[in-house]
Amino acid sequence: MWQPDRRADIPIYRQIASHMEGRIRGGEFPQGSLLPSERKLADMLRVNRTTVVQAYEELRSMGLVERAVGSGTKVVPAGSGGAISPNWRKYLEAGTFLPNVPAMRRIRSELRTEGAVIDFASGELHPELFPNETIRTLLKEKTFDGHLGYEDPQGFAPLRDSLSRFLRRYLNIEASESSLLLTSGSQQSLFLITQCLLSPGDAVAVEVPSYGRSLSLFESAGLKVIPLRADDQEGVDPDDVAELHRRHRLKMIFTNPNFQNPTGTVLSAERKQRLLDIAAERGIPIVEDDPFSLTAFDGTVPPPLRSMDAGGQVLYVGSLSKIAASGLRIGWLAAPHSIVSKLADARQQMDFGLSAIPQWVAAELLDSPGFGRHLAELRRKLAFKLDSLRAALDYHLPGEVGYRVPEGGLNLWAKWNERPANADRLFEQAIREGVVYVPGSVYGSGPDFFRLCFARPADDRIEEGVAKLAAAYRTASRF
Amino acid sequence: MWQPDRRADIPIYRQIASHMEGRIRGGEFPQGSLLPSERKLADMLRVNRTTVVQAYEELRSMGLVERAVGSGTKVVPAGSGGAISPNWRKYLEAGTFLPNVPAMRRIRSELRTEGAVIDFASGELHPELFPNETIRTLLKEKTFDGHLGYEDPQGFAPLRDSLSRFLRRYLNIEASESSLLLTSGSQQSLFLITQCLLSPGDAVAVEVPSYGRSLSLFESAGLKVIPLRADDQEGVDPDDVAELHRRHRLKMIFTNPNFQNPTGTVLSAERKQRLLDIAAERGIPIVEDDPFSLTAFDGTVPPPLRSMDAGGQVLYVGSLSKIAASGLRIGWLAAPHSIVSKLADARQQMDFGLSAIPQWVAAELLDSPGFGRHLAELRRKLAFKLDSLRAALDYHLPGEVGYRVPEGGLNLWAKWNERPANADRLFEQAIREGVVYVPGSVYGSGPDFFRLCFARPADDRIEEGVAKLAAAYRTASRF
């Protein structure tokens, strides 16, 4: 009998709904008849009952069935007085947003069940690394006296003031509160930049491999993505920018110079200056995505490009996601006021701005004396997790994996010394073993590369995760 | 001497920056020379010093000047080694987002200074109507034990559960948690729908006059907006929909049937059913924007379209903004799961989801026994403000203004019995007097209509505001 295809991009519940829809319209289930019970169909198709519930809900919302309390799910009279439910398929295929890459969707669906696989894929901190106590205490002890009405389109002014001081103190970046836009994170900053400052067809340089390369947002904005090679030892070569500009007339450069994601490299001071000069000579703005500078394990923070930028060319994108907590959804863009103003106006059209309470929490957090201590503790814990990962790799995969040791950030960029015969099969086998990572192809790299986020698993799961990866490697290597 | 043009659409600080840029490039201020001090230029141009600060910041970020501590603002050597600051003008003109309508920008700039004008324009609650105490107590007494990491793309599951129960209990709407998408408010729901379910060139019916008509988001998505006449006594005529569809092949209908903004009408039960039937016969989905149903002053909540929708055609958009607090940024979309899923995926690309803490607060709020009491109190206070507004209109503008008395919502839709000679001049005169409202043209109506939001001013400012409006009317009528 028919079984859903677990490898296909189409979610299982939707395959089941389509399948049942076909059988209903084909007459197999006449009007008024009952569909198989949820439990029964789940058993037959070897899926979770909740998946069948979702499929039946889909059929109900399409107007094909209704729930009869105590009886089950019943097929409603066809046409119901001539009514046609909207053909949602057409609407689902419309619009300008391209779906996220299949590998990432696969990873996300595996991670939906808490604790099911050991997670080296999500590029974020383990919850024990968040300043949980500080935030809880803050919520309890300080009285939220902020304004719960619509806010300044640029974001909560006291947070922009705190942030301005924070950027100066910790990163040597001068940005007045009027040149700051508070966003819901780096993602929103990048989305606003690509949607509002660029037009379809514009050529933009994007590092490869990079996290940026994995995002659909450049394509969703209709931009022409020009790959800018990011060497896994030294990062981008600014002279490449000059060459690419000659060939493509770049409108913007997207870079992540400090603890680049995924390679972990830090662009040298000389290269940073050369990049600024080359871009300045040609009038090309640079978007600097900087989630990780403050995670420098030894506390020596590499200067952001923006801190070296005298000419106002760098649009600086930062956030609290990797140095505090991603669930706060607090990020920022430092840019000329006119840019900030335009993007704030567009953002108002999208979502009317950020929530008041998290902005208040973030302002308190950045101003608190404990934040410096939190950063020091975070660096220490990240370094420990990296050491655990390396020890586990040495033990379980001796000589199989090569990597450059990062000095900050959350990720290890690794390479199989012997290219796997089939990277997809290895990825699937790892999931079967109970561990997930991100294949290099997601970032625009080759099948011998992969990213392990050492920040995400709990300390006591890192070795177990590597052991499972090793088991998958040995299994997959046999074919 | 040159003075900024306060009527122009271009912000004052930017006019000043352009003006000074011209003078710098023209040689009036050679390299190394100082620009006038901020205070001096502010005096000369009769603007706030902060406006000049912003203008100088703009020049600095363009690489033309630098701040010399203790000296002032100095012109930097031209070209700085051949460097060209990016031409931000090109980038500001790019992108797909259309700016908000000029009248709204004017209103917002007037409102930027707290308390400067009496605000009948902002369509939101006065802060004293928010459940401030409940939220403060909640933050202090309950421990936030939620997850501060990345969340479910559909939003915090416990909030979707609370919301599902809330919708059933208060609005008779059945929506399982899997068919709910939590958004940052109605604005984000509408943005996602227009960007993701429709393609450029698609024809959509939008009520006129309506709040929806005032938004740029339909045009930003490249949609063809087909006006659907909303009568100011009875709302839309569903038979008009059939006619419009015959002529334009409508892809979607956008409606606000309960306490329509701005007219305040409630669509009759018969018209609601007819609208559902006509749309169903043609397979056209309906987007129901429903911010106000629960504000029904006498507590008799008019049924939302969605509660009458058996066929799964209505995409239901709601939020906490008008019944709790807009600063929470919590809204929702109830739709077939496949739609919710696609929109959640697109929203991830835009901003990676909502902040954790406000979602937790909202879940606690909706579940709290006090919320019903809060709604009852809100209705009482809104009714009181409406009564105050009506009494003030009767006293200060007897016989000059006609309106239908709304039974819920935040707004009074008023009409000058004698059309003003010049609606723009009246609007400006009102601002000079110290009161602001929204001209009918913003909603697609004529110059004799205007909207007064009675919910926004404090109780003791309502009469004062109407007195100022009356003064403006008499002044403007003299010409």
How confident is the model at residue A379, as a pLDDT?
98
Per-residue pLDDT of A251-302, as tens digits, reads: 999 999 999 999 999 999 999 999 999 998 888 999 999 999 999 999 999 9
Is it the case that residue A210 has pLDDT exceeding 90?
yes
Instruction: Determine contact: A231 vs chain B, CB below 8 A.
Output: no
Is it the case that residue A83 has pLDDT exceeding 50?
no
Is it the case that residue A334 has pLDDT exceeding 60?
yes
Among B152-161, B210-219, B229-238, the minimum mean pLDDT is found in: B210-219
A335 by Cβ neighbours in 10 Å (0-12 / 13-18 / 19+) ranks as buried
Question: Which of the pair, A244 or B100, is modelled with greater confidence?
Answer: A244
Q: Structure tokens of A37? A: 């019970």
Q: Structure tokens of B346? A: 């697109």
Phi, psi angles (nearest 5°) of residue A309: -95, 100
Nearest Cα residue to B255 out of B247, B244, B354: B244
- Which residues of B fall within a CB distance of 8 Å from A326? 148-150, 352
A247: CB partners within 8 A, 6+ apart: none
The separation between the first and the last C-alpha atoms of chain A, rounded to the nearest angstrom, is: 30
- Which residues of A fall within a CB distance of 8 Å from B88? 285, 336, 338-339
Q: Structure tokens of B123? A: 């369509």
pTM of the model: 0.82
Q: In this structure, which amino acid lies at residue A229? A: R
Q: From CA B366, how far away is CA B163, in angstroms rounded? A: 7
Q: From CA B433, how far away is CA A15, in angstroms rounded? A: 63
Alpha-helical runs (H) found in B172-319 = 186-196, 217-220, 238-248, 269-282
Instruction: Determine contact: A415 vs chain B, CB below 8 A.
Output: no
- Which residues of B fall within a CB distance of 8 Å from A86? 283-285, 312-313
Question: Which of the pair, B253 or A87, is modelled with greater confidence?
Answer: B253
- Which residues of B fall within a CB distance of 8 Å from A187? 348-352
Phi, psi angles (nearest 5°) of residue A127: -50, -25
How confident is the model at residue B34, as a pLDDT?
86
A353: CB partners within 8 A, 6+ apart: A150, A151, A152, A153, A155, A347, B184, B329
Under 8 Å between Cβ of B408 and B258: yes
Q: Going from the N-terminus, what domains does chain B have, and what CATH number goes with each?
A: 12-93 (1.10.10.10), 102-124+373-477 (3.90.1150.10), 145-370 (3.40.640.10)
Instruction: Determine contact: A48 vs chain B, CB below 8 A.
Output: no
CA closest to B123 among chain A residues:
A150
| CA angle, residues A451, A455, A461, in degrees to nearest 5 | 95
Nearest Cα residue to A124 out of A457, A448, A456, A433: A456
User: Residue A34 — very low, low, confident or very high, per pLDDT cuts 50/70/90?
Assistant: confident
SS3 B188: helix
ipTM topping 0.85: no
Min Cα separation A419/chain B (Å): 32
Per-residue pLDDT of B268-300, as tens digits, reads: 999 999 999 999 888 899 999 999 999 999 999
Max alpha carbon distance in chain A (Å)? 75
- Which residues of A fall within a CB distance of 8 Å from B350? 187-188, 191, 350
Under 8 Å between Cβ of A163 and A366: yes
Nearest Cα residue to B208 out of B249, B255, B162, B244: B255
CB contact under 8 A, A313 and B85: yes
CA closest to B282 among chain A residues:
A84
Q: In this structure, which amino acid lies at residue A20? A: M
Token pair 């309960």: residue: B258
Residues facing A74 on adjacent strands: A34, A66
Instruction: Determine contact: A154 vs chain B, CB below 8 A.
Output: no
How confident is the model at residue B77, as a pLDDT?
66
Q: From CA A375, how far away is CA A381, in angstroms rounded? A: 10
How confident is the model at residue A150, as a pLDDT?
78
Under 8 Å between Cβ of B150 and A327: yes
A87-91: list long-range contacts, CB under 8 Å, 24+ apart.
A87/B283, A88/A62, A88/B285, A88/B336, A88/B338, A88/B339, A91/B197, A91/B198, A91/B285, A91/B339
Under 8 Å between Cβ of A320 and A358: no
Q: From CA A429, how far away is CA A86, in angstroms rounded? A: 41
Nearest Cα residue to A410 out of B249, B149, B454, B31: B149
User: Residue B75 — very low, low, confident or very high, per pLDDT cuts 50/70/90?
Assistant: confident
User: Residue A15 — very low, low, confident or very high, per pLDDT cuts 50/70/90?
Assistant: confident
The separation between the first and the last C-alpha atoms of chain B, rounded to the nearest angstrom, is: 30
Over residues A42-58, mean pLDDT: 90
Question: Which of the pair, B90 or B76, is modelled with greater confidence?
Answer: B76
Q: From CA B62, how far away is CA B155, in angstroms rounded? A: 41
